[in-house]
């Protein structure tokens, strides 16, 4: 059974930084795409960043240059380094995994999800 669990959410002032972690267990395939997604109140879930098993990455336009996705395969852990945070980054952040070797960020294509972690950025 594939399980994902996010860590690292919290409250920060605008301009600050946070690092999210996502520990994955039960995923036994060598090919993957892992992604970070956010869902703000009253809005649909949307992709933030994705990373594939071949090392390629993709980012939403609004986070390019501010967020960095990375993975430590030895620790089965996905990370999202978030810098220069803005109030509009406030949302619940989720990690997810799917079996494909492209850095995709379409939520509907991902089969396995974590429970989410809240990120709140105050102005």
Quick check: helix, strand or coil at residue 8? coil
Report the pLDDT value the prediction gives residue 101, as an integer from 0 to 100: 86
Strands (E), 1-123: 3-7, 10-13, 18-25, 33-39, 46-52, 57-59, 67-72, 77-82, 91-98, 112-113, 117-122
Rounded CA gap, 31 and 19, in Å? 25
How far is it, in rounded angstroms, from Cα 16 to Cα 18? Answer: 7
Given a cut of 90, whether residue 103 has pLDDT beyond it is no
pLDDT in tens, 76-100: 999 999 999 999 999 999 999 999 8
pLDDT-based confidence at 74, cuts 50/70/90? very high
Q: Structure tokens of 32?
A: 């993957």
Asked whether the predicted pLDDT for residue 53 surpasses 90, the reply is: yes
Task: Please state the rounded mean pLDDT for residues 6-30.
Answer: 96
pLDDT at 102: 84
């Amino acid at each position: 059974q594939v399980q994902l669990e996010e860590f690292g959410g919290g409250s920060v002032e605008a301009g600050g930084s946070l690092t999210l972690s996502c520990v994955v267990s039960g995923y036994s395939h060598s090919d993957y795409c892992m992604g970070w997604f956010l869902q703000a109140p009253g809005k649909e879930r949307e992709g933030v960043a994705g990373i594939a098993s071949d090392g390629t990455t993709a980012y939403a336009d609004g986070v390019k240059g501010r967020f960095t996705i990375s993975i430590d395969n030895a620790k089965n852990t996905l990370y999202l380094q978030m810098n220069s945070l803005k109030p509009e980054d406030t949302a619940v952040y989720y990690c997810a995994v799917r079996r494909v070797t492209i850095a995709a960020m379409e939520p509907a294509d991902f089969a396995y999800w974590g429970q989410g972690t809240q990120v709140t950025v105050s102005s």
